[in-house]
């Protein structure tokens, strides 16, 4: 059943630092939107045991009302496809998606544009999770700086098209847009 307080195509960006509580908050928001036909789009490719454990912990937080779709690169396409039948989509996370794309090609502008279009055209609410990576030190190597800059640019573009942006700090959500 859909929560009547949510617009049909509302988009929400939940952003924060590592271990800020952003994923948990995004899950709670998505679960308030509706209680059936929920789609979780995972962008993580777990290469090591620590990441595999992290994925298992996130999976354990979701009940059987969720279906999981792996979309490490083709995120815009997954949103377009699944928004036609889902009552809500939760994307976790844009940071890993950007990392996957960066390994493919340094030119990410087109992929970010495709994503913003998919979000704005989605037939259901879309909740997206991303890390704020620009508040730390300047990385010492070129690839890390390129990653930080790419994620920062993507976050700006997604925040601009989102109806609502929530910054999560120490487990406390702070609405900064919408």
* Catalytic residue positions, numbered: 58
Rg (C-alpha) for the chain, rounded Å, is: 15
Q: Characterize the bridge pairing of strands 66-70 and 172-177.
A: unpaired
Q: How far is CA 176 from the centre of its chain?
A: 17
Distance (Å, whole) CA 54 – CA 52: 5
The 10 Å CB-count burial string (b at 16+, else e) for 52-84 is eeeeeebeeebeeebeebebbbbbbebbbebbe
């Amino acid at each position: 059943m859909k929560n009547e307080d949510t617009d049909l195509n509302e988009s929400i960006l939940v952003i924060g630092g590592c271990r800020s509580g952003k994923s948990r908050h995004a899950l709670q928001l998505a679960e308030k939107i509706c209680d059936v036909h929920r789609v979780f789009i995972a962008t993580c490719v777990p290469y090591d045991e620590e990441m595999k454990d992290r994925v298992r912990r996130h999976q354990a937080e979701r009940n059987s009302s969720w279906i999981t779709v792996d979309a490490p690169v083709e995120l815009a396409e997954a949103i377009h496809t699944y928004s036609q039948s889902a009552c809500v989509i939760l994307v976790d996370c844009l940071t890993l998606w950007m990392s996957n794309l960066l390994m493919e090609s340094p030119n990410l502008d087109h992929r970010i544009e495709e994503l913003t279009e998919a979000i704005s055209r989605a037939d259901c609410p879309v909740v997206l999770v991303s890390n704020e990576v620009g508040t730390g030190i300047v990385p010492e190597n070129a690839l890390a700086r390129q990653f930080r800059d790419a994620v920062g640019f993507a976050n700006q573009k997604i925040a601009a098209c989102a109806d609502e942006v929530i910054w999560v700090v120490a487990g406390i959500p702070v609405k900064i847009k919408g």
